[in-house]
Structure 1
Amino acid sequence: MEKIGSFRNPAAEKRYFAAYDRAMAECPEPGAVFDIRTHHGITRVYRHGDDGPPIVLLPGLMATSACYAALLPALAEQNTVYAIDTLGEAGGSVHKMPFEDIRDRASALDDVFDHLGLTGLHLVGGSTGGWHAVNQAIHFPGRLASIALLDPTTVSAPFSRKVFWYGLPAAVFDNERLWRRFVTWSAGEDILDQPAARLILTGIRCYRPRIPFQVCPSDEALRPLEVPALALFGGRSVVHDPATAAARLESLLPQADVEILPDAGHYLYLRPEDRDLVIDRVLKWVA
């Protein structure tokens, strides 16, 4: 059982879901909630809207569906949107069987899409969710109409060294002041008291993920991709070098639509003006 993600203890699980409920309360009411049983576990999916092309939202690490609260109303207005809690991480999904490798993670998602009867879907992934979208396009592209990547991490550039300089002391000492410093640095402002950000920290403290290590795909894995790709990078993102990430992705996928939003940070839609840009770009891409 050591390869299965789980909560540290019942008290931690209770504490986590109190934070989860607060963060999910920021989202619009879903039209349906699914707990989809597959080989690797039970995946929680929230459906918003019931018309138009299917959009599937993949969250950042430990971020759950709650991280898309600000985007959901606009995206679901003319599309059917499925927001997923990533299996193997803290959230509404329940990990049951080990992942052997990163292909297994894509296989688990493909199982979910199969159960939902989804084809021709548009994957939208922010941060680590962008890595998942690319991993899906590499291993199981058949159901995908396109992928949209929102400042994706470890897709075309590694994490910056400062991620570890700021993040490791916070993780080792689990100190509120150090976590606030890390979040303020990575977001560009102090958002730790926002429910979605607090949920991520609570997940880190309360849950032990057991997932394959996330690494940049090789040039040989990226070059053959035929799934149409939109990639938006934050010009002020500090978790990686956005110019390097954008340039490498363009060189490997010359057919991709790659753009740097000059005033946005890693949390690409944190500011209202950037949020409007992201929504506009994604909706036009899907259309």
Structure 2
Amino acid sequence: MIRSGLLGRAILASSSPRLHEEEARALGLDLTYELFDFTQRGLADADLAGVVDSLKRQGFAGFNVTYPFKQAIMPLMDELAPSAQAAGAVNTVAIRDGRLIGHNTDMPGFRDSLLAGLPGAALGHVIQLGAGGAGSAVANALLSLGVARLELVDPDAARAGALATDLAARYPSARVLVTPLADLDTAPADGIVNATPIGMAAKPGTPIPADAIAAHHWLADIIYFPLETELLRVARSKGCRAINGIGMVVGQAALALGIITGHTPNAERMKRSLA
């Protein structure tokens, strides 16, 4: 049996167990996917190292990582794959001979979902809400696609500043800015990306006021539960082209399942399964 799972907070409603287990069965694999919800289990963030060590001792083949641990888990890795180094975050861990190898499948997952879901989207000026672990992967994906001006908005100014510095060094031809939410002017932007947890079932609401969204914007929300966040509802009511996080979650999940099991999943089949 292959043991895998997901570490995070407020994840009990996650579709990942069904997504991974159904695709594993289709591949002829006996795989279990367990949720390690730190909130539900009464665990502190400081317990992360202990939980990871426990999974290693129990013989897990690997696991996924979500909010709020994608960056906190990096120092626990024995090795970082190039994808994790580039994104500055880990969302997939493979355990090989007792060694923890951190990967990031969020970056290609988001990049591919944006290309497929919003073909031809203007990339001159993009506003990104959120500069955490998922935000780091999303920002790298946006800049790799050729975004010329990326504006980061995050309540943690130090975190946003550190990400901006890293991105500026990696993509010298682009301009990366940090803007406080109170100073944000969305009017000149082509697109808006929500890479915060605001809008999730456990964190309802919108990360920016509804009147900050206009018809000329395209909008991408990386949240997939619920399928339509309040932010997406507002954007679509104004005529914006918009996508939810389904494409990203399926893309990253297919890549993660392949990393953990060594088998090649069928992403289209996984998308149909999730739908």
TM range (shorter): 0.3 to 0.5
Q: Which has the higher contact order (CA 8 A, sep 6+)?
A: 1
Report the TM-score, using the length of structure 2 for normalisation: 0.36
